[in-house]
Amino acid sequence: MRRQHLAEEIEEIFRCSGGTYGSPKVFIELVRRGRRVSVNTVAKVMAELRPAGRKVRRRRSLTRPGRRPAPRISSAGTSPPRNRNSSGQAT
């Protein structure tokens, strides 16, 4: 009987959160409402009910730490390489 009431309250909290709360946040909300329940019990009930919170999407960095781009070689003041034949003379 107690577990059924707990399941109903968990479903209500989950719906009110827009389907985003996982078991840790649902547990915190239950404690704020005055319920004495463990985190593991909330996780088990939520696993039975099958609601799953949304995962937090981490911001992806475009640069990779530790990987530096190749140094740029300036072409200012240099001439293009000459074509040389097999005897070493410029053509």
What pLDDT, in 10s, does the model give residues 21-39? 888 999 999 999 999 999 9
> Amino acid identity, residue 47?
A
Report how far residue 26's alpha carbon sits from residue 46's, in angstroms, rounded to the nearest whole number. Answer: 9
* Mean of pLDDT values over 47-68: 69
- For residue 23, give its domain range: 2-49
Structural domain includes residue 28: yes
Residues 5 and 60: their CA atoms lie apart, in Å, by: 41
What is the band of 42 on the pLDDT scale with cuts at 50, 70, 90?
A: very high
Residue 42 domain-assigned (yes or no): yes
Number of domains in the chain: 1
pTM equals: 0.54
In a domain, 8, yes or no: yes
